[in-house]
Homo-oligomer: A and B are copies of this chain.
Amino acid sequence: MMKLPEPVQKVVDALAELPSIGPRQAVRLAFYLIGRPKEDLRVLAQSIDALRAIKICERCFFIHQNAGALCDVCMNPARNQRVIMVVEKETDYLSLENTKKFTGRYFIVGPVPKTGFLEAWQKTRLLSLKKYIADELGGAADEIILGFNPTTLGDFQASLLLKELAPLGKKISRLGRGLPTGGEIEFADDETLGSALDRRN
């Protein structure tokens, strides 16, 4: 490949590392950025830099920028901390939160590897959840909802988490199969997700 100016190559390399962006698309994006007004580039650079100040909630591991250690949901006294929705990723959290039907709180475990072996950081997260349930909820949450996709992989992930969490919830549930089988939480509309919440079993 012809050598690009070093700052351009740096941006290309960084963009190509992003999930679902290939090397060719990274080059196209870099050229698009170069064609933008200089002020736009400054704003984009500053916004990305500002991401460094984003904090991760100590309880559910969602993002926040509160003064304390907890995110908006976890520090909200109106939310039931004894009902815990375990989800794979932040975008699932967002989709569920958008239904405005869930009054418990979340726990983001991260993408469960297909190997079935959790990463070290995922084990650390699980340990903190177990400690919270032991210390704060007297050893058992009122309900643990396994909010995984209604897919083969999601079933696998749920069964894995079930093994870990079964003793820690008075009730363990999954999202109702009002969700179309084979679909994904992230792409479901609010109505469908709402009924899935209502019919969790």
Q: List A residues at the B interface (Cβ < 8 Å).
A: 1-2, 4-5, 7-8, 10-11, 14, 18-21, 24-25, 27-34, 38, 40-54, 56, 63-65, 89-91, 94, 97-98, 186-187
Contacts and interface: CB of A to CB of B under 8 A. Distances in A.
For this chain, the copies found in one complex come to: 2
12 contacts: A4-B94, A7-B47, A8-B63, A10-B50, A19-B28, A19-B32, A24-B186, A24-B187, A27-B94, A31-B91, A38-B52, A45-B48
A28 B91 contact: yes
Give the dominant DSSP class at A's interface: helix
A29 to B, nearest CB: 6
A20 B27 contact: no
Interface centre among A27, A33, A48 (most CB of B within 10 A): A48
A143 B43 CA distance: 43
A162 B44 CA distance: 39
